[in-house]
Amino acid sequence: MESFIIYVGESVGKAFSAVVSFIITLFKTLIAGIKWVALFIYDKVDQFVVPHINSFIEEWSFFRGEVRQVKDGIKESIKKNPLSLFPILRHYSKVAYKKHTYMFSNLTNTVLPIVGLVILAVTINYWGTKTFALEVVSGGQSVGYVENEAVFLDAQSRVKERFSADVAGEEAIRLDTKYTVVTVQPNELTDSATLSDNIVEKTGGESTFACGVYIDGDFICALKNETDAMQVFNNILDENAVEDENAVVGFVEDVQYVQGLYADNEETIWDSEKLTEKLKTTKSEAKYYTVQMGDTVSQIANANGLRTSELYALNPGLKEMIKIGDRILVSHEVNYIRIKVVKTEIKREEIAFKIVKENNSKLYKGTTKIKRRGSKGIDEVTYLVTYIDGARVSSEEINRITIRQPIDQLVDVGTKKAAHGPYTGHTYIRGKGSLIWPAVGCNTVSSRYGYRTLRGRRNFHGGIDLTGGYSRGKTVVAAASGTVTTAGWGGAYGYYVIINHGNGMSTLYAHMLANSICVKPGQYVSGGAAIGKVGSTGNTTGAHLHFEVRINGSRVNPAPYLGV
C-alpha cells in the first residue's frame, strides 16, 4: 500500500512539473513573438516613416527662413502700393509651391482628411440633437408635433370617435387638419392622447373633459368621471362573483378608461345607468342552421368553422342521424361584455393496471388463469379551467400527484401441449389421426358417421358421438388451433361451438352443458384448449359429445382425423 502511494505521488509530481514546464515554454514563446512584432514595426517605421518626417521638418525650416527673408520686402511694397498685395502673394505662392512641392503635398494629404473628419463630426453632432417630426395644424393653429404619421392618424381616429355623433365637428376635423415636416427637440414631441385633446380644443366645438370607455379599442361612450365608469364594470364583476376564493373573475374583452376632451352631447356623454343597460345587451344573436338534403354533421360543422365535437357540445341531444328540416345551433348569442372565470379544479383519475403474463407448463396452450387480480391506481390531477359566461372553454393540466399506485394483474399462460389420440387414464395416446381427441375421458365411440336408425327412424348421422363412463361435465377441448366462429345455442345441437382451422377445415362440438362454453366468436384458441363441458342439451338421448369435421362446409367422416 505504501509503495502504491509513493508511486501515485511521484506520478502526480511528474505530471505537475510537465504542466508547469509547458506553461513557461508557452509564455516565453508568446513574449518572443510580441518582441519580434515590435521590432518589425520599429524597423519599418524607422525605414519609411522617420525619413519622411525628417525631410518634411528640414524643408519646413528652410521654407520659414525664406518667408522671413521676403517679409520685409513685402511690407515695403504694400506701403508704396497697397493694391500690389494680391499680385505679390500670388507670385510668392507659385514660387514657394514649385520650390517646396514635396512639403505642400505631404501637408495637403495630412491636413485635408483631418479637416474633413472635423466637419463630419460637427455635422453629425448638430443633426444628432435634432428630431424630425410632423407639425400638426388644425384651424390654422399648431396643435403639436408627432414622431410619425401613425401617431397623428391614431389621434385623428380618437377625435372622430369622440365626435361620432357631432357631424359638424367631425367634418371640421376631417377638412381642416393637416401636417408638415419640421425639426424639433425630443421633448417637444406630443403623444396621440394629448394631440387628440389639442385638436378637439382647437376645433372650437362644444367639448368637455370626461372619461372615455373603450372596449377592445372601440369607443363606447364617455362618463363625467373615471370613478363612475369603473364602478359600472365593478358592479358587473360583483354580480358574477364565485365562491371559490382562488378563482379570478374578469372580462374577456379589454376595457380601457381614457381621460380627455369629448363632444359635449347626449350621444357621447352617458350616465352610469345608460352604460349599464348597454353592457347587458348582446353583440350577436344565436345562429341556427336548417338541415338540407345531403347534409351531414361533419359538413355542417366545417361550414361554420367548428369541430364536430364542438357542434355536439352546442347541441347536447344531437345524433349522427339528422333529418331534413332539423334546426342545429351553430353559434351561441354573444354578450356585449363577457365574464371570464379562471380557477383550479382537482379531479381524481384512474390509472390502468398492467397485465403481466407468465408461462405455466401445467396449463394447456390456449388457456389462461388469473393468479392475482390487478387493481387500478388513482391520480389527483389539478386543472386550470377557464369559463366564459358559464361555459367551460379550456382546461390545462398544471399538476398531477399519484395517491395510489396501480397493482399489476398476474396471469398464467398455458404452455402444455396436448397429444393426439384418445385419452386413457391420465395420458393421451397418440394415434394415427391429425386431430386431438376432443372429449377428455370419453374414449368410447357410441355412434359413428353415416346412416343409422334412431327411435324407429332411419337418418344420416353427420359426425361421431363420444362417451364413456360418467360423461357429463367432462372437458371438451379444441381438436386443433383455430378461430371460434360460433358459440351458443344451436337448436338440435344444443349448446355448441364451431372452430375454423383454415384451409377449408372446421370442427363442430355439440350438446355441451349450459353455461359451460368458455370461448366466444372471434377468439383464437390453441389445440387442446378447453372450450366447454360434455352435456346433453339439444336433441339427445344422454350425455355425450357430438363431434363433426367439415371440409369447405360439407360434413365428412371424423374417424380418420381422430385415428379411430
Which CATH number do you get for residue 394?
A: 2.20.230.10
- Side chain identity at 547, as an amino acid letter? F
- Highest mean pLDDT: which range of 99-108, 129-138, 361-370, 385-394: 385-394
What's the domain count of the chain?
A: 4
Domain identity same for 408 and 428? no
**Residue 404 pLDDT more than 90?**
yes
What is the rounded distance in angstroms from the CA atom of residue 371 to the CA atom of residue 69?
Answer: 127
Residues 457 and 557 in one domain: yes
Residues 425 and 347 in one domain: no
Nine cell digits for residue 498: 364451431
Identify the pLDDT of residue 463: 94
Among the listed ranges 102-106, 171-175, 331-335, which one has the minimum average pLDDT value?
A: 171-175
Q: Of 17-26, 84-93, 401-410, 413-422, which one has max mean pLDDT?
A: 401-410
Domain ends where: 413, 440, 468?
413
| End residue of a domain, out of 97, 113, 129 | 129
Please state, in angstroms and rounded to a whole number, the distance separating the CA atoms of residues 440 and 534.
9
Name the DSSP class of 194: H
- Where is mean pLDDT largest: 126-140, 148-162, 342-356, 358-372? 342-356
> For position 168, what pLDDT does the model report?
45
CB atoms inside a 10 Å sphere around CB 359: 10
Question: Does one domain contain both 451 and 509?
Answer: yes
pLDDT score at 529: 92
pLDDT tier at 4, thresholds 50, 70, 90: low
Looking at per-residue pLDDT, the higher value among 352 and 194 belongs to: 352
End-to-end CA distance of the chain: 83
Contact (CB, 8 A) for 368 and 421: no
Q: Let me know whether 363 and 422 are in one domain.
A: no
Q: What is the pLDDT of residue 509?
A: 97
Q: Is residue 271 part of a domain?
A: no
Q: Report pLDDT for 471.
A: 87
**pLDDT surpasses 70 at 27:** yes
Residue 107's pLDDT band (cuts 50, 70, 90): low
**Most confident listed range (11-20, 79-88, 412-421):** 11-20
Q: Which of 299, 332, 365 delimits the end of a domain?
A: 332
CA 376-382-387 angle, 5° bins: 125
Q: Which of 143-152, 222-231, 493-502 has the highest mean pLDDT?
A: 493-502
When pLDDT is averaged across residues 187-191 and rounded to a whole number, the result is 75
Question: Average pLDDT of 512-532?
Answer: 93
- Do 519 and 407 belong to one domain? no
- As a whole number, the mean pLDDT across the chain is 81
Co-location of 456 and 556 in the same domain: yes
Range of the domain at 360: 342-413
Buried b (16+ CB within 10 A) or exposed e, 45-70: eeeeeeeeeeeeeebeeeeeeeeeee
Q: Is 171 a domain residue?
A: no
Q: At 246, which helix (H) or strand (E)?
A: none
Say how far apart CA 129 and CA 496 lie, in whole Å.
102
pLDDT for the residue 400: 93
The pTM (predicted TM-score) of the whole model is 0.46
